[in-house]
Amino acid sequence: MKFTFKYFCPKLDFDAYKKALDKQMREIVAQGLEAWLMVTTVEVPLWSGASRATFVKVGQLIDHTVATSGGSAPFNRAGTGLAMSTGEGLDPSEMERGLYVFTYGTTLPWLLVNEYYNANDWGFHLTNPGPYEFQVKARAAFLHATKMASLPKVAPFIRKQVVR
């Protein structure tokens, strides 16, 4: 007697899963950035627009508008803040390694001082003096917004492969 059979071996469609994972990771980072920006714009007051403008480049990564005008200063310095900041999004070479990173940086002197110190202690007369501590608070908001995120389920990407 001769018996024949087909053996089905599961195979992961890795390319399709990787595409779904990339899409999900981008959405998770965008949710985190939204929370990060909401906290930074609450913690950093709008006066001349310069400090808030340092967040514009990060906001552009997710089409989030950051208000930089309408403060109580008699002039608008949003251009100064924009020029003294960096904000970069997801780098494809890092994403290939599984790193989904955004960066924010500023060299705006008065924002840096107010981030860590009460400038009124130095003779200034600010309505909303620091320390703002927006970095710590925004990081916490980012982590809170992203910690419950889930990755795509693997099951839909498993295919049957016939092995004889």
The ranges assigned to domains in the chain are: 23-147
Rounded Cα–Cα distance for residues 19 and 99 (Å)? 15
pLDDT score recorded for residue 122: 82
Rounded Cα–Cα distance for residues 139 and 62 (Å)? 17
State yes or no: cis peptide before 74, omega within 30 of 0. Answer: no
pLDDT score recorded for residue 120: 87
Amino acid 39 reads V
pLDDT score recorded for residue 164: 65
pLDDT score recorded for residue 161: 77
Please spell the DSSP secondary structure of 66-109, one letter per residue: ---S--SSSS--HHHHHHTEEEE---HHHHHTT----EEEE--H
Structure tokens at 11: 């195979």
Averaged pLDDT, groups of 10, the chain, 164 residues long: 78 92 93 96 92 96 92 89 93 85 93 92 83 96 94 91 71
Quickly tell me which residue has 């202690």 as its tokens.
121
